[in-house]
Amino acid sequence: MTRLASEKTAAADAATRTTAGICIDSLGHAFPTKDGGAMLALDNVSFEVPNGQFLAVVGASGCGKTTILNMAAGLIRPVSGSVKVGGEEVVKPLRDTGYMFARDGLLPWRSALKNVEVGLEHRGVPKEQRRTRALHMLDVVGLSGFGDSYPAQLSQGMRQRVAIARTLAINPGTLLMDEPFAALDAQTKIALQGEFLKIWEKDRKTVMFVTHDLAEAVSMADRVLVLTSRPGRIHADITIDLPRPRDPGEIRFDKHYLHLLDGVWQSLKEAEARAG
Amino acid sequence: MSMAMDMTVSNNRDTGVVSVKDKLAQQITRERSTRRRRTINVAIMRFALLAALLVPWQLGVEYGLINPLFFSSPLAIFNFLVRELGGGTIWPHVLVTVREALLGFLIGAAAGVAAGILRMQFPLFGDVTNPFLTILNVLPRVALAPMFVLWFGIGEGSKIALSVSLVFFILMLSTEAGIKSLDRELIVTQRALGATRTQLFWKVMLPGAVPAMFSGMRLGVVYSLLAVVVGEMIASQMGLGQRIAFYAASFQGDGLLGTILILAAIGLLFNVVVVNAEAKLMHWRLHDDD
Ligand SMILES: Nc1ncnc2c1ncn2[C@@H]1O[C@H](COP(=O)(O)OP(=O)(O)OP(=O)(O)O)[C@@H](O)[C@H]1O
Ligand SMILES: [Mg+2]
């Protein structure tokens, strides 16, 4: 089923497994409620994202998708179970993980270029190198010439591009993405999906991508995980065997794509119906 | 009827010839001249308002309707200012007051910002110091002036201390408000990008609190001046506050009001300096003005 298993020898496979992408093991989480009780958000969720796989996670609002990402990012600790990234248990934000949100979170007092540089600054990369890398990343996302602009001077789509450049600048081995294109209009969204896929298809990082947009999930990912409503459990695990490179703008009329999309949609409906 | 038709046609042709860019340029020119006219009008009206206040005052004094002993007169104040500023004895007092206000502001602001940061970074420190600082802050600080004279003498030290006691709290509270109101999203994003605690502080919290610090500073300079003037009025041998107390006690209305005008000018100058520094440091948010 996985691309890795079929392509690699047993020895290489073992080596990959020790530096496995993301490994979620019997994750459980609850949040304290106002009246002193606890609200179960995640219930015994286990799955793995092999190195180099693009996984999309879908599920009803409030089913715990962001919570899983936050744990993988090391921003919160799970109540039970564990999250490993690259074979390492995550207890704090890892230097090799990039995390993108729907909101760009750009620092308003920094120019676009300085915003792209910020992650490299945190890693102590020398100034010259930082600048060269940031300029290159701005170019990759189609914003060369906007380095000196401040976030307030950029459109929302441009700001999200800067955020993508900022995340990619640190060249993370693992990418966590929480509805990164949700705040964009339809055209910009498809354009950015395409650009992101193009960049991703070059070096295939491990990606965990949360979205409410099923078309986005199916057109971009290798595999879609469907979660049940609160508390989140895994309802379905669907492989998306569409050829690459893909163009999210073109694929919309592909028959097999439409078939897969329908499957994910049915599955999500079941998952939501089953909650309660 | 046919003429009207012709007009419409030629009008349409005109709009086709005049491009959108040209129209925009015309519009901008028009707006600019409107704005210039408005600026001139405002200046004229301000001058008229000033005259409407000063002329009746001067005439009232001259015709014996206003007692100059209590109200002085615009001309007397003007003469006082010319005499004192043009080589009179007021300059050493100006120097003392400005020096006290500046030192008080700088010391108070530095300490206030530092305290605000420490209290936000170390919540335990914040919690422990809370009741003490609250009591000090609600206390009318002027009540401390006699004690400061006792501690720091009748010279500049006691005035600076009074100023520090005011400025410190203003800057501490605005720094704390700035850090508290910081967008959580920015902090989470930078944490996810690998910022350490120290980096978060220097790259997110501190720059994020700068706007709030500046609004604190704008208030701070005014209160610093207030504090030193009050301090000087209570007990002092030098300074504009001492002059005010002296002129008031000896019924010299021109000196009293003239000195107040000098204080207003100093306050304005302080304010301009802070506002300019703010504009320089925060060009990222002021871009829509230019
Ligand atoms: N800090 C928190 N305190 C209390 N409850 C929380 C907290 N964060 C999340 N929750 C609750 O946990 C559940 C899962 O939240 P989460 O943000 O992971 O959902 P989600 O799947 O990302 O939803 P959405 O698709 O709307 O973004 C929700 O019911 C939410 O109310
Ligand atoms: Mg979410």
pLDDT for the residue numbered B76: 92
Q: Give the distance from CA A110 to its chain's centroid.
A: 25
Cα nearest neighbour of A70 on chain B? B192
Give the strand pairing for A234-239 and A223-227: antiparallel
Instruction: Say how many Å lie between the first and final Cα of chain A, rounded.
Output: 32
pLDDT for the residue numbered B279: 87
State the residue for tokens 């998952």: A271
Calculate how close chain B gets to A94, using CA atoms only, in Å.
Answer: 7
Q: Give the distance from CA A187 to its chain's centroid.
A: 20
In one-letter notation, the amino acid at residue B6 is: D
Measured between beta carbons, the chain B residues lying within 8 angstroms of A99 are: 189, 192-193
Can you read off the two tokens belonging to residue A185?
A: 């209009």
> Does B15 score more than 60 pLDDT?
no
Give the up-direction half-sphere exposure of residue A38: CA atoms within 13 A in the CB hemisphere: 10
| CA distance linking residue A56 with residue A217, whole number of Å | 5
pLDDT for the residue numbered A191: 86
From A75, A150, A170, residue closest to B191, measured CB to CB: A75
pLDDT for the residue numbered A34: 87
Q: In this prediction, what percent of chain A has a pLDDT beyond 90?
A: 38
pLDDT for the residue numbered A19: 55
| CA distance linking residue A74 with residue A59, whole number of Å | 22
Question: CB B284 to CB A109 under 8 A?
Answer: yes
Can you read off the two tokens belonging to residue A122?
A: 């945190």
Q: Which residue in A222, A218, A209 sits closest to A175, CA to CA?
A: A209
3-state class of A89 per DSSP?
A: strand
| CA distance linking residue B179 with residue B208, whole number of Å | 7
Question: CB A99 to CB B193 under 8 A?
Answer: yes
Mutate to test the interface with B, among A118, A121, A130, A148 (most CBs of B within 10 A): A118
User: Is residue A254 classed exposed, middle or buried when 0-12, 13-18 and 19+ CB atoms within 10 A define those classes?
Assistant: middle
| CA distance linking residue A214 with residue A205, whole number of Å | 21
In one-letter notation, the amino acid at residue B273 is: V
Distance from the alpha carbon of residue B62 to the mean position of ligand 2, in angstroms: 77
Q: Which residues of chain A are modeled with pLDDT < 70? A: 1-19, 275-276
For residue A243, give the DSSP letter.
-
Measured between beta carbons, the chain B residues lying within 8 angstroms of A118 are: 190, 193, 203
Distance from the alpha carbon of residue A72 to the mean position of ligand 1, in angstroms: 15
Residues of A with CB under 8 A from a CB of B: 73, 75, 93-95, 97-99, 101, 103, 105, 107-111, 118-119, 121-123, 150, 152-153, 166-167, 170
| CA distance linking residue A22 with residue A69, whole number of Å | 11
Taking residues B115-131, what's their average pLDDT?
93
Pocket of ligand 1 (CB under 6 A): A 31, 41, 59, 61-67, 230
pTM for this structure? 0.78
Identify any residues that bridge with A59 across adjacent strands, giving them in sequence order. Answer: A227
Distance from the alpha carbon of residue B179 to the mean position of ligand 2, in angstroms: 26
Question: CB B207 to CB A95 under 8 A?
Answer: no
Smallest CA separation from ligand 1 atom 17, residue: A66
| CA distance linking residue A225 with residue A236, whole number of Å | 6
> Does B11 score more than 80 pLDDT?
no
**What sections of chain B are H helices per DSSP?**
2-17, 20-62, 68-71, 74-85, 91-121, 123-138, 145-152, 156-180, 184-192, 197-200, 206-234, 240-249, 253-281, 283-286
Instruction: Report residue B16's pLDDT band, with 50, 70 and 90 as the boundaries.
Output: low
Taking residues B86-93, what's their average pLDDT?
89
In one-letter notation, the amino acid at residue A65 is: K
Distance from the alpha carbon of residue A102 to the mean position of ligand 1, in angstroms: 15
> Does B99 score more than 60 pLDDT?
yes
pLDDT for the residue numbered B68: 86
Q: What is the pLDDT of residues A12-30, one digit of tens each?
A: 444 444 457 899 888 888 8
**ipTM associated with this complex:** 0.82
> Does B59 score more than 70 pLDDT?
yes
Question: CB B193 to CB A122 under 8 A?
Answer: yes
Question: CB B194 to CB A167 under 8 A?
Answer: no
| CA distance linking residue A157 with residue A148, whole number of Å | 17
Distance from the alpha carbon of residue B21 to the mean position of ligand 2, in angstroms: 45
Range from B65-79, B93-107, B260-274 carrying the lowest mean pLDDT? B65-79
Q: Which residue has the higher pLDDT, B266 or A232?
A: B266
pLDDT for the residue numbered A272: 81
| CA distance linking residue B91 with residue B262, whole number of Å | 10
pLDDT for the residue numbered B17: 61
Give residues with Cβ within 8 angstroms of A231, minimum separation 6. A40, A41, A42, A43, A63, A64
pLDDT for the residue numbered A275: 57
| Ligand number nearest to the C-alpha of A63 | 1
Give the up-direction half-sphere exposure of residue B259: CA atoms within 13 A in the CB hemisphere: 25
Q: Tell me the best of A33, A67, A75, A211 to mutate to test the pocket of ligand 1, counting ligand atoms within 8 Å of each CB and taking the most.
A: A67
Q: What is the pLDDT of residues B162-183, one digit of tens each?
A: 999 999 999 999 999 999 999 8
pLDDT for the residue numbered A30: 86
Question: From residue B180, how far is each of A133, B130, B173, B201, B214 by CA, in Å?
Answer: 33, 16, 10, 13, 15
| CA distance linking residue A132 with residue A128, whole number of Å | 6
| CA distance linking residue B219 with residue B221, whole number of Å | 6
Instruction: Report residue B186's pLDDT band, with 50, 70 and 90 as the boundaries.
Output: very high
Containing H/E element for A96?
A: none
| CA distance linking residue B80 with residue B72, whole number of Å | 11
Task: Please say whether the beta carbons of A198 and A245 come within 8 A.
Answer: yes
